[in-house]
Amino acid sequence: MSVLVIGATGFIGPRLIRRLVARGETVVGMDLNPAAAAFADVPIGAPVIRGDVTQFEDVMRTVLDVKPDRLINLAYGLGAGEGNPHQVMRLDILGMDNCFEAARLAGVKRVVYASSIAVSGQQSHFGERLSSRRASTSRTTACRSSACVRPTSPVPTRSAARWITCRS
């Protein structure tokens, strides 16, 4: 099976690609910065095509060229965007929508997206959930499955939007 990993040169991409290649998968990456395909001076073991996940044409062209059975989107931004929250919103939501649409049009069998620990907000003890009283006083609550948390940044809202789009 072939796998297209979008966001191939980020934090998770090189690690995932190495594992997929070690399992015998045929992997191609796509990233805005393909020159970063060596991670810690170790090549990631797969070709990386230049492309911008926020540009539908880039995603569609890559999906049509690679013809993957599976598409994994690891292209997302953390935090509030370091002074440019609009760009992070485009990356997270528009980028994921571009992946879903390109995969739908090209007949990709499976699409995987990654979220982040930031979706859980700041918690003093990882894994604990807010009490229902505290969660009900929150202006915005992002829910995924039975785990509802109070967002402390825009990340939960973006991740919830990606999850809702995926479920549609």
For residues 118 and 126, the answer to whether their CB atoms sit within 8 Å is no
Length of the chain counted residue by residue = 168
Please spell the DSSP secondary structure of 54-97, one letter per residue. Answer: T-HHHHHHHHHHH--SEEEE-----TT-TT-HHHHHIIIIIHHH
Stretch(es) of the chain classified as CATH 3.40.50.720: 2-114
Span 6-28, pLDDT tens digits: 999 888 889 899 999 999 999 99
What are the two backbone dihedrals, phi and then psi, of residue 39, each rounded to the nearest 5 degrees?
-115, 120
At 103 the pLDDT is: 97
What kind of fold does domain 2-114 have according to CATH? Rossmann fold (3.40.50)
Whether pLDDT at 67 is above 60: yes
From the list 1, 6, 10, the residue with the least C-alpha distance to 102 is 6
Span 88-146, pLDDT tens digits: 888 888 999 999 999 999 999 999 988 666 665 555 555 555 544 444 444 433 444 33
